[in-house]
A = this chain, B = another copy of it.
Amino acid sequence: MEDLRAFDHTEDGMDARTETVRDRNWKGQGVEQAMISGGQRGVRSRTGRPTARDVAREAGVSPTAVSFVLTGTHPEKVSAATRKRVLEAVERLGYRPNRVARSLRTHRTGAIGVLLTDIKHPLLARTVSGIQQVARQYGYHVVLHNTSFNPEAEREALQFLADLLVDGIIFVSTSTWGDDSVLLEWTQTPLVLINRALSESIPVPSSLPRVRVDYRAGAKEAVLHLVEQGCRRIAYVGAVLTGPGASLAATERYGGYRDALAEAGLPYLPELVHISSSSRPGWDDGAEAVERFLAYGFDGLYAVNDYAAAGAIGRLLRGGLRVPQDVAVVGNDNTEVASHHSPQITSVDPNWEEAGAVALRLLQSMLDGKEKACESTRGASGEAGTTRDGASTGRDGVVAVRPKLVVRESSRRVG
Q: Spell out A's residues near B (CB within 8 Å).
A: 23-29, 31-33, 47, 49, 96-101, 103-104, 106-109, 111, 119-120, 122, 125-126, 128-129, 132, 141-146, 159-160, 162-165, 187-188, 282-284, 287, 307, 311, 314, 317-318, 335-337, 340-342, 370-371, 374, 377
* Residues in B whose Cβ lies below 8 Å from that of A287: 342
Query: How many angstroms between the C-alpha atoms of A27 and B314 in the bound complex?
Result: 58
Q: Across the interface, do A128 and B122 meet the contact criterion of CB distance under 8 Å?
A: no
- Among B47, B108, B377, point to the contact of A29 (Cβ < 8 A): B377
Cβ–Cβ contact A122 & B120, under 8 A: yes
Select A104's contact among B24, B101, B336, B377, beta carbons within 8 Å: B101
Contacts of A342 in B (CB 8 A): 282-284, 287, 311, 314
Contact A107 B47 (CB under 8 A): yes
Q: Are B97 and A24 in contact (CB under 8 A)?
A: no
- CB of A89 to closest CB in B, whole Å: 18
Nearest chain B CB to A106 CB, angstrom units: 7
User: A24: nearest residue on chain B (CB-CB)?
Assistant: B374
Q: A97: nearest residue on chain B (CB-CB)?
A: B163
Assess the A142–B141 pair: CB atoms within 8 A: no
Q: Which of A109, A125, A126, A307 has the most CB of B within 10 A?
A: A125
Q: Does A129 lie within 8 Å of B146, measured CB to CB?
A: yes
Which residue of B has the minimal Cβ distance to A23? B374
Contact of A340 among B159, B163, B282 (CB under 8 A): B282
> Would A26 and B96 count as touching, CB distance under 8 A?
no
The contact of A164 among B27, B100, B126, B374, by CB within 8 Å, is B100
Expressed in whole angstroms, the Cα–Cα distance for A132 and B31 within the complex equals 32
Most B CB atoms within 10 A — which of A100, A159, A377? A100
Check A162 against B119 for contact (C-beta < 8 Å).
no
CB distance from A163 to the nearest CB of B (A): 5
Smallest Cβ-Cβ distance to A101: which chain B residue: B104
Whole-angstrom CA separation of A318 from B96 in the bound complex: 63
Closest to A315 in B: B342
Ordered by A's residue number, 30 sampled pairs between the chains whose C-beta atoms are within 8 Å are A26-B108, A29-B187, A29-B374, A32-B374, A33-B187, A96-B163, A97-B163, A98-B104, A98-B165, A99-B163, A101-B104, A111-B143, A119-B125, A119-B129, A119-B132, A120-B122, A120-B126, A120-B129, A132-B146, A141-B143, A283-B341, A287-B342, A307-B337, A307-B340, A311-B342, A314-B314, A314-B342, A336-B337, A337-B337, A337-B340
A401 shortest CB reach to chain B, Å: 17
Bound-state CA distance A117–B99 (Å) is 24
